[in-house]
Amino acid sequence: MLRKACFLFAPCSPGLGCSCPKDFRILAYALKPFSTMSQFSRLSDDEILKKIQSIIPPLTYEQHKGQSGRIGIIGGSEEYTGAPYFAAISALKLGADLAHVFCSRSAAPVFKSYSPELIVHPFLSDDDASDQMKEWIPRLHAVVIGPGLGRNPKIFKTVLSIMEELKKQEKPLVIDADGLFMITNNLEAVKEYKNVILTPNQVEFERLCHAVGCDTNSDIDEKQLTLSVSKLLGGLVIARKHRHDIITDGVDVLEVKANGSPRRCGGQGDLLSGAAAVFFHWSLKTSFGQKSREVSGSHPGVLGGYAACLLSKLCAESAFGKYGRSTTTTDLINEIHFIFQKHFEKHTQKL
């Protein structure tokens, strides 16, 4: 019985193969009774949607360019140019005002040619990339790290150094794709940094589990496993792509129940990461987001991650309904406006 209780409520538990000491588990449980441990988890899907609606900035005529979000995407290599484009254009279509892509020199002309809406900085492969980046960091509201980044060790070194500066300035980060590969081998780069959402797919999540010492082969509840990994990383947010996406900060655990699409074409995760950066920024901007986790009882990244996963699933479902097996990520991105208007925009904000 005690074992079951630990399994249900403790930050990690025996049987998960986690390595934190028993005393810590008991202490954590004692300090966080169930009622305060699950602010979001106790809400209905409709109530969560209302919370999401409350963080969406109203569109007023008094706003200036940039106020709805200046999003940075760090990614793009010689091989991969589609991923950061999808993340950047998704951020714009969701309502961000500006999207900056920071990529390798060889990838830049290609990005630019995809769309004149993007601002592309081609210095990521330069020797002084971290220095060049310092000029831009203060202007960014949130940053996605990883889409199409590739696995060049020199680029990883640069990006890890840029991450140090981003963390110093407390920028909200979303880490996906090769960015996850990078941090799986450099866990200290994210550990204990609260302003981060990881968006792993199944393979990336398993890699993360192994890195933190969790056993993925046990016959355990996927939500609890995800929660445990988050907890072992110091309570950062994991928005795990799954049959029903799982979002947790090691305290709350939410599940996105929308169906999504059976189509598994590449690029869908990039829509999600771009959207997560925008929602995370919006969430942090509100009074709810500006309160500390202890005061508000909820992590703004959980709401941001949940909103992005829900948007992504609904876009996928809608696009699949139209294009079936032919659906590609561009079709999903074309659904953003329609899905946002239908499910996310408060009616009073419709103009």
Number of residues that bind a second copy (CB under 8 A): 66
Residue with smaller CB distance to a second copy, 4 or 64: 64
User: Does residue 95 bind a second copy (CB under 8 A)?
Assistant: yes
190 vs 332 by CB, closer to a second copy = 332
What DSSP state is assigned to residue 189?
G
Q: How far apart are CA 300 and CA 126, in angstroms?
A: 34
- Which string of x and - marks every residue 288-327 that binds a second copy (by CB under 8 A)? --------------------------------xx-xxxx-
Cα–Cα distance for residue pair 114/120, rounded to 1 Å: 11
Q: Taking the chain, what is the end-to-end CA distance rounded to the nearest angstrom?
A: 55
Q: Per CB under 8 A, does 340 bind a second copy? A: yes
Region of 38-46, 217-225, 287-295, 328-336 interacting with a second copy (CB under 8 A): 328-336
Residues between 158 and 217 that touch a second copy (CB under 8 A): 201-203
Beta bridge partners of residue 173, listed in sequence order: 143, 196
**8 A C-beta contact, residue 140 and residue 68:** no
Least spacing, CB of residue 268 vs a second copy, in Å: 8
Q: Tell me the CA distances in angstroms from 178 to 22, 289, 318, one per residue in order.
A: 34, 28, 28
User: Is 193 or 323 the residue whose CB approaches a second copy more closely?
Assistant: 323
- Which one of residues 152, 161, 186, 328 is an interface residue with a second copy (CB under 8 A)? 328
Residue 186 or 334 with smaller CB distance to a second copy: 334
Buried (b) or exposed (e) across 301-323, using 16+ Cβ within 10 A? bbbbbbbbbbbbbbbbbbbbeeb
Cα–Cα distance for residue pair 110/90, rounded to 1 Å: 18
Can you give the binding site for a second copy, defined by CB under 8 A?
59-68, 78-83, 85-86, 92-95, 97-98, 109-110, 112-122, 201-203, 243, 259-260, 262-268, 320-321, 323-326, 328-330, 336-337, 340-341, 345, 350-351
